[in-house]
Amino acid sequence: MIGPSGRKGENKMPEITISMAEGRTDEQKAGMMRDITQALVKNLGVDADAVVIQINEAPLRHKMKGGKTFVERAAAAKK
């Protein structure tokens, strides 16, 4: 994207926040963030240095789906 002054990506600092359950490795999270960064560079025309990504992780006991915590769901799946 070209801004009013003709500079690519001007005033276009995308900030992405990802909320997810804990349990993935640092390598998995870094790979995901690199892929998201490249998608924003490709699709929004911003520089990679303009992209900010933050991961908010929650303990499995603090996330719930279908009325059961992720800990309860994992225990039920083992039965």
HEC letters along 13-41: CCEEEEEEECCCCHHHHHHHHHHHHHHHH
Catalytic residue among 14, 16, 50, 73: 14
Q: Euclidean distance between the first and final Cα of the chain, in Å? A: 53
Could you confirm whether 14 is annotated as catalytic? yes
Cα–Cα distances in angstroms (integers) from residue 38 to residues 23, 67, 69, 73, in the given order: 24, 36, 33, 34
Indicate which residues carry an active-site annotation.
Answer: 14
